[in-house]
Structure 1
Amino acid sequence: MRTTRDIRTAVVKPVIAALMEDAGTGLDYGTRPDRLPGLLTPLDRFFVRNHAPTPRLDARTWTLRVEGGGVRRTVRYTYDDLWRRFPLVSVVRTLECAGNRRALFGAEHGRRFGGVQWGRGAIGTAEWTGIPLRDLLEPAGLTDAAVEVMPEGLDEARGRRPMPLAKALAPDTLLALAMNGEILPPDHGFPARVVVSGWLGAASIKWVGRIEVSDRPLRVPWNTEDYVIVAPGRPAVPITSTPVASLVELPWPARLHPGPQTIRGRAYAGEDRVAAVDYRIDDGPWRPATLDGPDLAGAWTRWRFPWDPAPGAHVLRVRATDEHGRSQPEATPWNDLGYCHNSVLPHPILVA
């Protein structure tokens, strides 16, 4: 955590408490779940996860370099090249930090984890517009020896994380230039960022200035020391897709008025689709919620159910299930860094 820099300069966009939750680092801000107006998360409240202050980059001097032992030649692109030379595509995809709900994970085990103390808000969905990464790699001439692709950011931390060649060549792995129909904001990666569909947010490197195509597996802090599952007696395993989980669009704890109403939320299953969402009030039975879509891998699904609550204290539990039949567990197995928490949460609600 940075303490020597004025936290007001660490990110560019205004951070409004009515829309975002301060994670306490001066760099990281989560979306308030009760301030999600539609399928897409608006730019003013899309969560921010930074390892260093947001860099101020000039598109007129910025370049992107593709190089490494897995290509035949180094290729450089300017910002204008990206807009003029390549067809643009748009995809709706969700990004989630692997540390989302870390504070709740700690409460579940009665111990505080290190790292950003996220609540439920380190997740958001946007329409990303850009160039399929494979279109940018092709002019460099991929060799038969190419195995991994690693974007690298231009922030002070030089954020970087490798992915297998097959994931880099997937049609929905993009170098994004725009977000929700607007030029990419500085806090979200301007001039260009990678969007790796269905993977943890740390794979979608922001402020990209270099892409290495390697002919050997790459080991960097982001896939060996951090963003890995570490459990006692086991080797570290890099995180890729995040597990199925659900989000209730209410404050924690919530206060509701009596009377008929609709409870809404989101469910997300990483690279997989959400197949079902069930809910339970207090000690009642599990009942199915209605899914409102979209039915997309790599994007969250909206859900809802009607409720006419009696006055008093209640506990709401929501359980999502993915297309392979994997459901949220009652408890998440321990891992040393507090990643991938997806337990069914007992959401406290007071009706008064």
Structure 2
Amino acid sequence: MSDENLFDQEDYLQARVDEYIWQKSSDAGISRQRFLQILATMVGATAIGGLAKPAPAHSQTSKSNLSNSSATVTKGSRILKPLPPGYISHSKGTLEMNWEAMYERGYLVPNDWFYVHNRNTPPPFDPSTWRLHIQGTGVSTPCEFSYDEIIAMPSISVTCAIECAANGRRFFEEAYNKPLSGTRWRLGAIGVAEWTGVPLSILFERARLKSTARDVLVEGGDLDSLDSKQSKFSSVVPISKALADNSLLVYAMNGEPLPPDHGQPCRALFPGWGGNANVKWIERIEVSETPIYTQWVLKQMVLVGADYPAISPYKGKLITYQNVKSAFELAWPATLAAKPYLLRGRSWSGKGKIVRVEVSLDGGKTWQFARLREPNFPFAWVRWDIEWNPVPGEYSLQARATDNLGNTQPTTVPWNDFGLLYGGVVSHPVTVNS
């Protein structure tokens, strides 16, 4: 399956479902038709169907208490790096990027401001003993590599975003007035960095990848909270995605060794895919000739709800690529002075690059095009701006973006039970004082 075909998630999902049905019916020694009949009658069975200078002070004020104080370390935190001033945290293992702090910063997010979602404290790393194991039926020569061997291999750098699939979850709650479990991110569970590492294709070449390879499981060093057996967290991508030129085993971030909170010694990079696919603290890669089904992928990396019929073995519609989103570089809510102001923001897409951004200053009644600023890398974001000379009052600012494949942010988004992939237009509250 070609990489561009993966944009059609339904085709990809159906291919995996067909193979699942074939495997299970063969294992049971019955026909595919009989297996489907049994599945349909089961109780509860699912239906088949560049780093810039620090931001200068400006007229915006924030309720997140952004300040110029030094970074802090919180007791009991699962995050090892010092938390930056004005940080936003939802739990002991989360750090949300502060959009206000990005005003007048460069294209990349500095490592200390980059968002974090740690299920556990980063595992210790000893470069003398760490090994990456590559194994499975999809390779002819299982092998292992030391850290020194990895960093000595040919490498490339890729500038792209990593974004949590739950970015924007809070807006589902607000739109539907229904509570959700999990981290209540606004839009700060994203960051763009320059990632340096070894293309996975090079590693697979050394392991003698078979032409029959189908799926790639990447396993990290932290525990999977869904697994009662306390196994390591992992995610799965098809071999076509793993072989893409920009799919990397990353060991550096913005020109520095990968920090512990961001996957030291190595993490996966699959540009455009949901954050969980970019597994941190990698220890093992399994390449398989048959589809791999993990509980995390089957039950959590899916959209579940009335608008997303389940397709066995998946609990809902499988998530691969991220959708289109936009955010203002403003506090939430923001307070501005009644004077000329340059509104800034950023828009991004997991499927390509942004080609158009429209901004509304009146809650969606009228729209105007924003200026797009270079660089504008695919799978990353574009910075944009627009002049505004507001009078005192209450405002609801909106932005909507369109990518090069024609994907545009909708006004509303169907509900899903995990609050994933919120891509709707967001109304940003702003008060302008006299």
Contact 1:53-1:156 at 8 Å conserved across structures: no
Q: Work out which of the residue numbers 95, 101, 104 in structure 1 matches 2:171.
A: 104
Distance of 1:16 and 1:138 partners within structure 2: 41
Which of 123, 127, 146 pairs up with 1:59?
Answer: 127
Are residues 1:166 and 2:273 paired?
Answer: no
- The alpha-carbon deviation at position 222 of structure 1 amounts to 2.3
Match of 1:193 in 2: 267
- State yes or no: 1:205 paired with 2:279: yes
Aligned with 1:166: secondary structure?
helix
Where does residue 45 of structure 2 map in the other structure? none
SS at match of 2:251: strand
Verify: 1:78 aligned to 2:159, yes or no: no
Asked whether the 8 Å contact 2:219–2:234 carries over to 1, the reply is: yes
Partner of residue 32, structure 1: 98
State the match for 1:279 in structure 2: 359
How many Å separate the matches in 2 of 1:9 and 1:343?
A: 32
1:103 alignment partner AA: R
Q: 2:346 aligns with which of 266, 286, 289?
A: 266
CA distance in 2, matches of 1:39, 1:203: 23
TM-score under structure 1 length normalisation? 0.95
| Match among 328, 336, 339 for residue 256 of structure 1 | 336
Pairwise CA RMSD of aligned residues? Answer: 1.3
Quote the offset at 1:7 in angstroms: 5.7
CA displacement at 1:17 relative to structure 2: 4.6
Distance (Å, rounded) in 1 between the aligned partners of 2:75 and 2:188: 20
- Read off the aligned partner of 1:339 and give its amino acid letter: L
Does the aligned pair in 1 maintain the 2:77–2:93 contact within 8 Å? Answer: no
Give how far 1:69 is off: 0.7
Aligned to 1:3: none
Structure 1 residues 87-166: aligned runs within 5 Å: 87-157=154-224, 158-166=232-240
Q: Larger Cα Rg: Structure 1 or Structure 2?
A: 2
Q: CA deviation at 1:328?
A: 0.9
- CA–CA distance in structure 2, aligned partners of residues 275 and 222 of structure 1: 34
Match of 2:83 in 1: 15
Higher strand share: 1
Aligned identity (percent) is 38
Shift of 1:9: 4.4
Query: Could you say which residue in structure 2 is the equivalent of 1:344?
Result: 425
TM-score by length of 2: 0.77
Q: Give the partner amino acid of 1:31.
A: M
Change (3 A) 1:55 1:280: same
| Residues 7 and 27, structure 1, Cα contact 8 Å, conserved in 2 | no
Following TM superposition, by how much is the alpha carbon of 1:221 offset from its aligned partner in structure 2, in angstroms? 2.1
Structure 2 unaligned residues grouped into runs of 5+: 1-73, 225-231, 311-315
1:70 offset after TM fit, Å? 0.4
Q: Residue deviations 1:269-306, cap 9 Å, x none?
A: 10221110000111552100011132322111111111
* Equivalent residue letter for 1:171: D
Number of the residue aligned with 1:180: 254
Shift of 1:230: 1.1
Could you tell me how far 1:61 is from its partner in structure 2? Answer: 0.9
Where in structure 1 are there 5+ consecutive unaligned residues?
A: 1-5
The alpha carbon displacement at 1:159 in A equals: 1.8
Task: Report the Cα offset of residue 348 of structure 1.
Answer: 0.8
Query: What is the aligned residue count?
Result: 344
**Matched residue of 2:376: which SS?**
coil
CA deviation profile, 1:129-179 (whole Å, cap 9, x unmatched): 111111111111111221011110011332211111110000100111100
Tell me, what secondary structure is at the counterpart of 1:154? strand
Amino acid at match of 1:209: E
Q: Residue 239 of structure 1 aligns with which residue? A: 319
| Whole-angstrom distance in 2 between the partners of 1:29 and 1:161 | 22
Matches within 5 A, 1:219-230: 219-230=293-304
**1:329 Cα deviation from its structure 2 partner:** 1.0
Q: Give me the whole-angstrom Cα distance separating, in 1, the residues matched to 2:399 and 2:89.
A: 25
What letter corresponds to residue 218 of structure 1 in structure 2?
A: I
Specify the alignment match of 1:326 in structure 2.
407
Q: Which residue identity is paired with 1:234? A: P
Q: In structure 2, do the counterparts of structure 1 residues 67 and 32 end up closer, same or farther at CA, with 3 Å as the change threshold?
A: same
